[in-house]
Structures are given as structure tokens and as C-alpha cells.
Structure 1
């Protein structure tokens, strides 16, 4: 999936999470958008990879693309680090919601992800698409609509 689809997925996931928590929706939303791009630090051409090229290169050399940073172990380590060092639980939760949405969206691509890294098992959803395809644009549109729907509820606009 492209960066914009991941960001929209992070926004939708964090606003959906806001429905079941008492966290501040604005913090969840912002952190969800940021968290949605974190797993692609392993790819130098990604939004975050271009922002942190040295870190991206090191991670890519050590692990490759869609392995460690697209795994459950990475999510668990990130949760431990966020909870230890971030002052606000809503920010931690939003970052993790965005990261989890990223993994789910990449499981919907033909390449899949190494969710159980270090094991070399590739995990894909039953229905997959190519990055940048028409189907991805439909997914982006659906995530946009979900974001509006969940956002209206999170910010007190009832439907």
C-alpha cells in the first residue's frame, strides 16, 4: 500500500479505537497517522525512510523490507518502548493503532508480510491487491469514509 493509504488507515484505526476508550481523539488521530508510517522505516523510498535515511538504510541492511518492522515482535517492542518513554497513554495507543493498521493493510498486498518474524512465514489476507492499483484507491476511499464516520462520533457529532 502507498503512504497515503497507510496514513488514512492509521487515522481510521485510531478514530475507531477512540470509540471504545476515553482517550483524547485528537491525540489518537495524530498519533495514528504517525504510527501508520513507522513500519516502513525499513524502506528507503517510504515517507519515513526518506525522513530518516540513515536509520532506514541500517534497518534495511539488517532485516530487509517487510520483515522485522512488519512483525508482532516489533509491535510488542514498540508498545514496551512507548509505554516506558511517552508521557501520554493516548499517544502510545494511537501510535500502536496506526502501526497495527499498517500491518493489516500490507497483509492485503500480494507480497504480504513476515508477521511472525524471525520465522520466514509470509502472511497474506485471502484477498490481495497490488500496491497502487485501482483496488487500493477503493480501499483508500473506504478508509476515508470510515474516518469521517468514526470522527463524527469521536468529536461529538452524532449521526
Structure 2
């Protein structure tokens, strides 16, 4: 018996195809071989379901959609110009409470006014920050930072 897995889409769906003897992607004729094939398909589906996948039997095996992670919170705090001086203008501290080791900064590259939002993102102590393409909104930059840090989808809160 062999199992092959093929990627079927951007959403993480995979198709598990069963190969038993000469029967690739289709169950054998009725009889003991078919019973074995159907049992293996049910077993594969049960294991995938137990791992959190959404499964559906197909003619050739099992279709499995990956579990969707719950969004995590990301907080933004605007730089305090009164406390830190004009250098804090257009700068934001960003962090994820669920992953305290992940913290960084977002910066309006033009400093003045919300008319142009070009941000940099990096870890707080980075000597060589990452300079991605410009973002039109603060929340877009925050989501890009979160993706860069390997976080699942986020909800952004300004403090």
C-alpha cells in the first residue's frame, strides 16, 4: 500500500490518494481488497481528523483541509513625542502579548502626516532592519510585520 499527498490549493487543502496493488486513486472491485481499501481510507481520514484537519472522502482517497489558526493579538503604541522628543514622531512600538519575545517597531518613513504610510519593521534591537515595500496603512504594515515574524493572522489594536 502507498499513500501520496498532493497540494490542491492556496488554502492548504491536500488530496491523499491511496495506492493498493494496481489500484491507484480508485477502490478495487467489491470483495476483500475493496474492504481493505475503504478501511485504509477511513483510517487515514480518522488520523487527519484527529490532527485537526477537516476531511472528506473522495473517489480516490481523502481530501483534507488544514486547520485555521485563531488570530492572535498585536498591539501598537504610538511614540510619545512629549517624552521621547521629535524622533518619536511617526514611530510605533509593536508587540504580541502571546509571544513576548516578538517585539519591534513600525515607522512612518516620512515622519509627518498620515498622507503617506511607508513603514519599516524589525525587531526592537535590530541593527539592520527589514525595509519592505511601502504600505498605505498602519494596520497593513502591522500585518506584514506579524507575517514576517511567523505569526498567524492577527487582530491589530492601537493603544
TM-score, length-scaled by structure 1 = 0.21
Larger relative strand fraction: 2
Higher helix share: 1
* TM-score w.r.t. length of structure 2: 0.21
Higher CA-based Rg: 2
